Structure 1
């Protein structure tokens, strides 16, 4: 089930506060302008969440990729902990993008994205409900497709 817009807004706002605004406030020695930025971020987070959850695919993917690349910069591949996939942002990324930087994921990551165990992923692969990657793991596109199918079955 997709995350609620409220939960996604809260996570986005919290992440931006922790990763961007708090360090900026420290650098600026507590400058008052940072508080006005917090208000702008909260307003924008509502717009981003709406786009990510129900916007046009191309626009939603663009918003997701901007947020992920801004909040999780790094020289290596994007590799969040398994619990991240259960967060509101992780769930919307899984449904709208799959994995932002990988063609395939391990059974453990696929399970986290789907909210099931690694054994559950293995069973789905064995029954042909998820596509195995020729080299390793599960195709991200098949995980995303499964999430989208589950959403339409529950609706």
Structure 2
């Protein structure tokens, strides 16, 4: 059964449960980010990393007049304004049942957009922590955080 458990963990990313404490951040200033992982199986971690991205979304109401009929629709757009991968720890072994903690530093450039919710345009920041392992990486999932 060990072979199939290992294979399942590689396919699903189930070798560990990962949590990240998402702080509020200020552009141009460093902020500490804490990552915690609990191993569900023994494994080799190539790196512990953070993924950060800023996403701008826009939604505009559009009215079209066609054949004497008026058609209302919403036009939506989305653009990744910033993304980066930050390695916070190198290669190591994890053991089933053990909990591991890492601290990394996140510093966003001073020229990026802050978080905002406008009438038509929003800008949202997200952070994800992950363990670089064979197969699908265990990760925390994307967590929204505020940037000022």
Band of TM-score, shorter chain: under 0.3
Higher strand share: 2
Instruction: Report the TM-score, using the length of structure 1 for normalisation.
Output: 0.20
Instruction: Report the TM-score, using the length of structure 2 for normalisation.
Output: 0.21
